[in-house]
């Protein structure tokens, strides 16, 4: 297993063995998290910056905890309380923080390409924590880690992604990861949110939700990303829920061993009903747990770590 990347900007740039390296490394860090002492000194002395210019709960907190579990120092940058509000550019902000000897920038931004832009002039590593509708690589990595944990090899597995695909960075990064791992991907949602252009990515596109879910091994639900939509993409939430929401009745017609996934945040009662979100086939909380291990793995690997160096004893 080898890892050659200084940055993690998207899944497109990774090959299958890179994805499996992250998963194998994450598996080791997950075991560390189950010990009584959950910390390892792997990144002692490193400085990591959580540069979040868009709201986040899961990704920001799990990167923060990942850095702490690796014994790194972590700075949480709060955009609303920063000099960005006084007109300072993102580049000047990042260069200023880098002058304090930051080693890794974790970047979330509503503009597609912001992490790629920063990676062009920073000496530090850059990890994309979600940029606009473009990419969310650690979400895709934790998603495939969770799928592999339950199903093993994903070759030929049927994965349905249901919801707002057009505005979703999670969908794009999942499609890249799943296709590289040999899964069959079906996309479903309102036609305005699931354009047929995704067929050129090797996905099936259908607007028939019952057909999309009936043979799926995995159903990954996505919320409507209103914050990225410039105008109404469908008549209303009530209609969306009726036509595309995963409710108890629709769930009854899925395979008994289907996995229900959602990257969060969930809009309960819209894309998924609570009975389904919280049922025994739901692995949504496992995704959160695996996210911590995956983010530890990514921080470790972009710093030049090798999985053979991870402490294996308590
Ligand atoms: N899944 C995800 O990216 O959630 P947050 O926006 O809360 O980080």
d(CA 305, CA 205): 40
Task: Quick: pLDDT tens for 208-266.
Answer: 999 999 999 999 999 987 776 667 777 788 899 999 999 999 999 999 999 999 999 99
Q: Locate 216 and state its tokens.
A: 């799926």
pLDDT digits (tens, 9 = 90+) for 33-71: 999 999 999 999 999 999 999 999 999 999 999 999 999
Q: Is the CB of 139 under 6 A from ligand 1?
A: yes
pLDDT at 310: 80
Closest CA to 69 of 286, 268, 289: 289
User: Which pLDDT tens digit goes with each residue over 142-189?
Assistant: 999 999 999 999 999 999 999 999 999 999 999 999 999 999 999 999
Protein residue with least CA distance to atom 3, ligand 1: 59
**Start-end of H helices in 152-283:** 169-180, 209-214, 237-244, 248-251, 274-277
User: Residue 57 C-alpha to ligand 1 middle, in angstroms?
Assistant: 6
Q: Does 58 contact ligand 1 (Cβ within 6 A)?
A: yes
Q: Is 110 in the pocket of ligand 1 (CB under 6 A)?
A: no
Alpha-carbon distance values, 122 to 134, 210, 296 (Å):
21, 48, 21
**C-alpha span between 187 and 209 (Å, rounded):** 9
Sorting pLDDT into bands at 50, 70 and 90, what band is 312?
low
Query: How far does residue 264's CA lie from ligand 1's centre (Å)?
Result: 6
Question: Is residue 23 scored above 60 in pLDDT?
Answer: yes
Tell me if 51 sits within 8 A of 106, measured CB to CB. yes
**Cα of 265 from ligand 1 centre, angstroms:** 6
Strand order in the sheet with 158-162: 204-206, 184-188, 158-162, 218-221, 259-261
Rounded distance, CA 203 to CA 161, Å?
A: 10
139-144: average pLDDT: 98
Cβ(59) – ligand 1 distance below 6 Å = yes
- State residue 313's pLDDT score: 44
As given in the structure block, the two tokens for residue 290 are 């695996």
- Residue 60 has which token pair? 């920001």
DSSP letter for 78, please: E
The CA 314 to ligand 1 mean position distance, Å, reads 31
Pick the residue whose CA is nearest to atom 4 on ligand 1: 58
Domains (ranges, CATH) in the chain? 16-136+290-313 (3.40.50.1370), 137-287 (3.40.50.1370)
Contact predicate 129/138, CB 8 Å: yes
Choose which residue among 55, 59, 173 to substitute to test ligand 1 binding: the one with the highest number of ligand atoms within 8 A of its C-beta. 59
- Going from the Cα of 313 to the center of ligand 1, the distance in angstroms, rounded, reads 32
Q: In this structure, are residues 53 and 105 in contact, taking their beta carbons and an 8 Å threshold? A: no
Q: Which of 203, 150, 205 is nearest to 176 (CA)?
A: 203
Tens digit of pLDDT for each residue in 73-111? 999 999 999 999 999 999 999 999 999 999 999 999 999
């Amino acid at each position: 297993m080898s890892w050659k990347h200084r940055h993690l900007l998207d899944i497109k740039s990774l090959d299958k063995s890179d994805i499996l390296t992250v998963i194998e490394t994450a598996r080791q860090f997950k075991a560390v998290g189950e010990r009584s002492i959950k910390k390892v000194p792997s990144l002692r002395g490193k400085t990591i910056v959580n540069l979040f210019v868009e709201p986040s709960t899961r990704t920001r907190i799990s990167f923060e905890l990942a850095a702490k579990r690796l014994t790194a120092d972590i700075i949480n940058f709060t955009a609303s309380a920063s000099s960005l509000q006084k007109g300072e550019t993102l580049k000047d902000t990042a260069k200023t923080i880098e002058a304090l000897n930051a080693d890794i920038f974790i970047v979330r931004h509503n503009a597609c390409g912001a992490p790629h832009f920063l990676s062009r002039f920073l000496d530090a590593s850059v990890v994309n924590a979600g940029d606009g509708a473009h990419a969310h690589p650690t979400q895709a990595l934790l998603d495939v880690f969770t799928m592999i944990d339950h199903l093993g090899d994903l070759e030929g597995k049927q994965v349905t992604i249901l919801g707002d695909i057009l505005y979703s960075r999670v969908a794009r990064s999942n499609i890249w990861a799943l296709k590289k791992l040999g899964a069959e991907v079906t996309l479903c949602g309102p036609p305005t949110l699931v354009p047929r252009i995704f067929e050129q990515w090797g996905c099936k596109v259908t607007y028939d939700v019952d057909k999309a879910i009936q043979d799926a091994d995995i159903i990954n639900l996505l919320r409507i990303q209103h914050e990225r939509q410039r105008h109404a993409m469908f008549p209303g939430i009530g209609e969306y829920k009726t036509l595309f929401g995963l409710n108890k009745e629709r769930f009854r017609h899925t395979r008994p061993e289907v996995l229900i996934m959602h990257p969060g945040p969930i809009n309960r009662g819209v894309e998924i009903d609570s009975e389904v979100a919280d049922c025994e086939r739901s692995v949504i909380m496992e995704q959160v747990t695996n996210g911590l291990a995956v983010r530890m793995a990514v921080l470790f690997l972009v710093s030049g770590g090798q999985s053979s160096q991870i402490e294996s004893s308590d």
